[in-house]
Structure 1
């Protein structure tokens, strides 16, 4: 015995192995390997096992390794798993392997074997045995639907042929395990995490770790007793809505009696009596405050399910409410009639309205029409249920007439002084003002009764007699109010100022926007005369001049002009003055252009105010921001920034459409017989093509090369000859290389 697990399971395996082959002295016969074991029940707290192994000489090779292998859960070695490997026991005929059970191993028919690598031999396998890695080894907790609530006494009742589903609720990833479910000690066939039952009995569960490890894993759960019964249809007899007066006697009666049941009575969900055997009635105590509420009865017994009745309502007939329907006090406007009303929870109410504390003759309804000022309320008496209840008065409503009215006007929509080009003003509220100064909004009641007149700076505006006015011209700027007339009332609104922007456009211009040494001064001019105007010249938002109609820019910055003579300042456009910098001129391509002969390449400049394109003869080619190049040569771009100039040199060269060949076949077949150069170097009077033989002797030299070398194939006396070439222009080398002539 080598190791003992935490589950008191022992695992000892002894191999007697015969390794056959030419490296051994002979065929040595050993007894069948025997294994003494119970099971391998590994876990994170114990996972170390030894296997004894014995073999016979002759010796294995020096580089040999012995490997302990594990089958699959069915005992097959189609894809064995290596558990342990040793390479230092090649002269030890009896030694131990130590291994750990893999964490994903779980089964009843695992086998072990040993394999040597040199020579390659395999031992017989052991008999099958259980091997499990126990992932979870704590007692399970089960509850109905795995909700975590274990019932009191561990009993769940299933009524009327229903079923109950039991599930563990304290194990992570519960659906990844298999289970052993038991009913009253009998193992059930179900292996899943959920068990739905309807048969009475004592239920519990454990994780299925096989025939030996299941018990030693210590996962056996709590027990849940499932009991069955039938519904008795419990209810409280009589009406489900009962009105009682304080002091009335009333007993609630259950509809099921005489079955030996236990009764529990509830009010508003709380127990008020029981549980008591055969207590099928409950006397409502109406002498205490708060007896009204919702009542239920619950029964249970040997032959019945735990069952609660539908609820009934008991009301206090002497306890009712009266609610005023109008919101607060009322302002009675000229020629108006207002209606007051109340509601009540009384069962059989009667009404009496009062004005200034005196009953109003004939005012015995829930509502009252009033056309006089005063203080009103309704008195309600409960006439039903036999209760001697006191009358209950509603809240009072004070009806007043206004001492005066006031108007409130406001802007409609968005309006910003000196920015908006128009403004709409409208009546927003009419307030009735009492003698005490209290204000009541009466807009919806009386706005159509007034006549209106809009006023600007104290003068009536002809034709503006509605509740709304729109101002669309800056010449109509001013302070606006709204007057009204109704009978003897002549209210005036608050004042609103309207200051619209003018439609005058102010623009400043300059003769340049870039400062540079030696250039003419940059002078600002205004599109509007500044004579008799109050104005400000600004640079970067700071006033720099208030008297000069024209100014000269001496510093970089953002310049602007503001005229302040009118209601709203008139602000000009902004002009940015920059310090001259050649980087202000940008090109969309490189200055050295390479184009294909016969095609066009466009170069575009930006950042300057004007442009001029010149060729190498100083001929003006164009004055746009771009130019289309078609010919080789050097070009000049002159860009102007007001009084400042900068230039760029643009070089245009043709791109070769093919490379210079280095092999020709001068055999007279008309194919590749001639050395043909690209257009860049052929037929050009300025380009000289010179060819030398392998000894450096010049054999050909020509300007305006016609692609005509060699002129004869008879000068080549060898199958393969090498020549050297040089292409020059004005004495400067353009290209050079070798030519191989094949005959």
Structure 2
């Protein structure tokens, strides 16, 4: 039996309705992110590795997803795994909030500067609803923060050998290391020997095999783009010849004599280079296996070495031989070169010497002093003194050697120099230590001689403050820790008939007192309560200033009434130093100071809650539609539809926000029902948004436009049991209004 076209259409419509319901119950599908073409570069090939640097760091990833739609406040977040491909602590690469209706789009991202590795993966996460895509394939990702050629040398010393050649003798080894890269230990390296990649990955490598060695930074697939390939060091090996200088390692030569230094290998066409104290003195010369040291030449003493090179042997350096003068010795003056002698004093001068059998002779003003033949001399007169020492032992007889000269003077006066010996800043430090740092003896012609070490313990001292003695301060150091003792300090000292005076040092110590100001508000608004700044310190007997943005605005009022925005402070001047209070910032009232983390029109799912959090204000009050206070915290969890009021206080100012909460439709208004009495889809059921609300009117019309049903607070009860349908398939029209405003309208098909 054939079904009528009308019946067939009705079945197709019902099937479409059921299929729509099935699709509507599906969840969003997030697909694996994929590398994408950079639209700002030429070419059309997606990247295969991320090789970022300070010069280029712009990459794109394509992403697509399937509906149903996400929430309006959803965000899509592109995340990066760790170097092993795990997402325990992912790194956020990019975030978008304007793609909630776009099913295929691209993320743009920059690679963080600390990323290096070959197994990084990406994924995309949505926030509302909370879903995560599958991870991408693994990729090499490197931020190339060093892209200059490396330079390698032995032990990273920076000394690259001539021709890049290092020779190893006798089975030894050498360590190669870069010397031109900061934080070298934080990188991974590729070491090569004659083109073969070695297993070592550290910053240095110890080698003993011959070959051509070089290195680059291991940036994985990005290594070639980094341009870090180093210079080449050639390692060659050979046999030690046992090179040495014949004879003793320590040689003494008398003045005017010569000494022949001779290598123990000769006559084979080798090249020799002779060194003194590390500097070349002869060569390189073929067969120059000897070198003559001439004691008649000034400065001949030193450490001598010879280096040999040639076919079949290693370049080798001998052990050193030390050459000295047999008659040489040292003489040291044990006193200072300048001595001040007071009329009542005597001084003892002395010298020491390394001579083995010395004799001494003292001189005053260039003339020998009779019977002054010891290593010490007691003096009581001014003049210029020195000693001559003669070496009388050994194989050589050198000329006498004179010590340095000591000048002994008698002072015309003394002066003191005092200074701060602890860190001191005027009107900032709360204590300071002053001390004598130098005593100068001043001659009659004004020449100053530092005699601090000689006389500082011989003076008597007295500190003065503004010219008055400071009781009990009779040492060369004074510590001041009270603002009441501010002023100018000098140090006076006396010795014999002399009195010395120092320079003057000014002390301005800050007070230890803390100055605190308070306020009844920090936001200034028109018509609000006046903002007043107060101090707990009594200002009636103080010199003070109220400052706004560093400018004085009042110097007579105990409490300051604020008349404008800015940064306010109170300054009291005490003992010439200011005491500065804390800062209070007064800002202009602005409703934008109140920040909500979600729109004030909230849509929630019935049975669930959504939290709205406010910030920026001093206090908060939440009220329901009945003007009942429901919370005083900065957030509230909404679970019911309705209008709510948030009152936020900023000092004496307030901001009010009306919050509207509505339920989200979980399904659309049905347009097909089957009124056949089987208990399935017999009634026209509306979403909670429109049903059982006394303010919502539901009206149904027949196909001729006649009203057949009208109900406020619809109870999901149409068609009623008394309703009759005289056709197999009948179409009705509905209209849903609130307060006369149309909310929804459409058709209902009733299948019997």
TM-score range, shorter chain: 0.5 to 0.7
Map residues 107-122 of structure 1 onto 2, 5 A cutoff. none
1:689 pairs, out of 673, 687, 698, with 698
Map residues 236-315 of structure 1 onto 2, 5 A cutoff. 236=246, 241-246=251-256, 270=281, 315=324
Cα displacement (A) at 1:497: 1.5
The match for 1:503 is 513
2:439 pairs, out of 427, 431, 455, with 431
Secondary structure of 1:688's aligned partner: strand
Kept in 1, the 8 Å contact 2:415–2:501? The answer is: yes
Q: Kindly provide the CA deviation profile for residues 13-45 of structure 1, in whole angstroms up to 9, marking residues without a partner as x.
A: xxxxxxxxxxxxxxxxxxxxxxxxxxxxxxxxx
Cα displacement (A) at 1:652: 3.3
Q: Kindly provide the CA deviation profile for residues 313-333 of structure 1, in whole angstroms up to 9, marking residues without a partner as x.
A: 665556666454655324579
Distance 1:680 1:506 in 2: 57
Distance 1:576 1:160 in 2: 77
Kept in 2, the 8 Å contact 1:634–1:650? The answer is: yes
Kept in 2, the 8 Å contact 1:261–1:300? The answer is: no
Secondary structure of 1:678's aligned partner: coil
Q: Kindly provide the CA deviation profile for residues 227-282 of structure 1, in whole angstroms up to 9, marking residues without a partner as x.
A: x9997988656785141332x5877889899x999999979655699989xx9999
Tell me: CA distance 1:476–1:647, structure 2 relative to 1, closer, same or farther (3 Å).
same
Tell me: CA distance 1:578–1:730, structure 2 relative to 1, closer, same or farther (3 Å).
same
Tell me: CA distance 1:352–1:539, structure 2 relative to 1, closer, same or farther (3 Å).
same
Distance 1:540 1:395 in 2: 66
Kept in 1, the 8 Å contact 2:435–2:478? The answer is: no
Q: Kindly provide the CA deviation profile for residues 332-373 of structure 1, in whole angstroms up to 9, marking residues without a partner as x.
A: 7999976743445x67644444466444757545xx475756
Map residues 599-638 of structure 1 onto 2, 5 A cutoff. 631-635=640-644
Cα displacement (A) at 1:496: 3.3
Secondary structure of 1:728's aligned partner: strand
Kept in 1, the 8 Å contact 2:486–2:575? The answer is: no
TM-score by length of 2: 0.52
**Bigger shift: residues 694-703 or 712-721:** 712-721
Cα displacement (A) at 1:708: 3.5
Tell me: CA distance 1:730–1:564, structure 2 relative to 1, closer, same or farther (3 Å).
same
Secondary structure of 1:475's aligned partner: helix
Secondary structure of 2:742's aligned partner: strand
2:383 is aligned with 1:398: no
Q: Kindly provide the CA deviation profile for residues 381-406 of structure 1, in whole angstroms up to 9, marking residues without a partner as x.
A: 23355545321211112356777665
2:338 is aligned with 1:329: yes
Cα displacement (A) at 1:380: 1.8
Cα displacement (A) at 1:686: 2.2
Secondary structure of 1:380's aligned partner: strand
Kept in 1, the 8 Å contact 2:484–2:575? The answer is: no
Kept in 1, the 8 Å contact 2:493–2:501? The answer is: yes
TM-score by length of 1: 0.53
Distance 1:450 1:676 in 2: 111
Cα displacement (A) at 1:666: 5.5
Kept in 2, the 8 Å contact 1:372–1:399? The answer is: no
The match for 2:715 is 706
Across the aligned residues of Structure 1 and Structure 2, the Cα RMSD in angstroms comes to 6.0
1:383 pairs, out of 392, 397, 400, with 392
The match for 2:744 is 735
2:489 is aligned with 1:475: no
Kept in 1, the 8 Å contact 2:245–2:306? The answer is: yes
Distance 2:724 2:579 in 1: 92
Distance 1:615 1:161 in 2: 90
Cα displacement (A) at 1:703: 2.6
Tell me: CA distance 1:695–1:398, structure 2 relative to 1, closer, same or farther (3 Å).
same
2:424 is aligned with 1:418: no
Kept in 1, the 8 Å contact 2:269–2:286? The answer is: no
Tell me: CA distance 1:507–1:523, structure 2 relative to 1, closer, same or farther (3 Å).
closer
Kept in 2, the 8 Å contact 1:245–1:316? The answer is: yes
Distance 2:652 2:680 in 1: 63
Kept in 2, the 8 Å contact 1:586–1:607? The answer is: yes
Cα displacement (A) at 1:428: 4.8
Map residues 535-554 of structure 1 onto 2, 5 A cutoff. 535-543=544-552
Tell me: CA distance 1:382–1:466, structure 2 relative to 1, closer, same or farther (3 Å).
closer
Tell me: CA distance 1:267–1:534, structure 2 relative to 1, closer, same or farther (3 Å).
closer
Distance 1:624 1:174 in 2: 69
The match for 1:110 is none
Tell me: CA distance 1:677–1:561, structure 2 relative to 1, closer, same or farther (3 Å).
same
**Bigger shift: residues 303-312 or 673-682:** 303-312
Tell me: CA distance 1:250–1:633, structure 2 relative to 1, closer, same or farther (3 Å).
closer
Secondary structure of 1:377's aligned partner: strand
Distance 2:614 2:170 in 1: 93
The match for 2:108 is none
The match for 2:98 is none
Secondary structure of 2:577's aligned partner: coil
**Bigger shift: residues 473-482 or 397-406:** 397-406
The alignment covers a number of residue pairs equal to 525
Q: Kindly provide the CA deviation profile for residues 160-181 of structure 1, in whole angstroms up to 9, marking residues without a partner as x.
A: 999xxxxxxxxxx99569xxxx
Map residues 514-663 of structure 1 onto 2, 5 A cutoff. 514=524, 516=526, 534-543=543-552, 557-564=566-573, 567-572=576-581, 574=583, 581-597=590-606, 631-635=640-644, 647-656=656-665, 659-662=668-671
Q: Kindly provide the CA deviation profile for residues 531-558 of structure 1, in whole angstroms up to 9, marking residues without a partner as x.
A: 5665555444344555677777666554
Distance 1:387 1:372 in 2: 37
Secondary structure of 2:484's aligned partner: helix
Cα displacement (A) at 1:418: 2.5
Cα displacement (A) at 1:476: 3.3
Cα displacement (A) at 1:702: 2.8
- In structure 2, stretches of 5+ residues that fail to align are 1-159, 173-191, 197-208, 213-237
Kept in 1, the 8 Å contact 2:593–2:616? The answer is: yes
Tell me: CA distance 1:290–1:670, structure 2 relative to 1, closer, same or farther (3 Å).
same
Cα displacement (A) at 1:427: 2.0
Cα displacement (A) at 1:625: 6.6
Distance 1:620 1:283 in 2: 107
Kept in 1, the 8 Å contact 2:339–2:451? The answer is: no
Kept in 2, the 8 Å contact 1:509–1:526? The answer is: no
Distance 1:504 1:635 in 2: 46
Tell me: CA distance 1:630–1:397, structure 2 relative to 1, closer, same or farther (3 Å).
same
2:351 is aligned with 1:341: yes
Kept in 2, the 8 Å contact 1:342–1:394? The answer is: no
Kept in 2, the 8 Å contact 1:666–1:713? The answer is: no
Kept in 1, the 8 Å contact 2:572–2:578? The answer is: yes
Distance 1:615 1:522 in 2: 31
Kept in 2, the 8 Å contact 1:515–1:578? The answer is: no
1:679 pairs, out of 688, 708, 713, with 688
Cα displacement (A) at 1:423: 0.7
Kept in 1, the 8 Å contact 2:521–2:650? The answer is: no
Q: Kindly provide the CA deviation profile for residues 548-597 of structure 1, in whole angstroms up to 9, marking residues without a partner as x.
A: 77777666554555454752234455555555555455444433233455
Secondary structure of 2:686's aligned partner: coil
Distance 2:170 2:609 in 1: 95
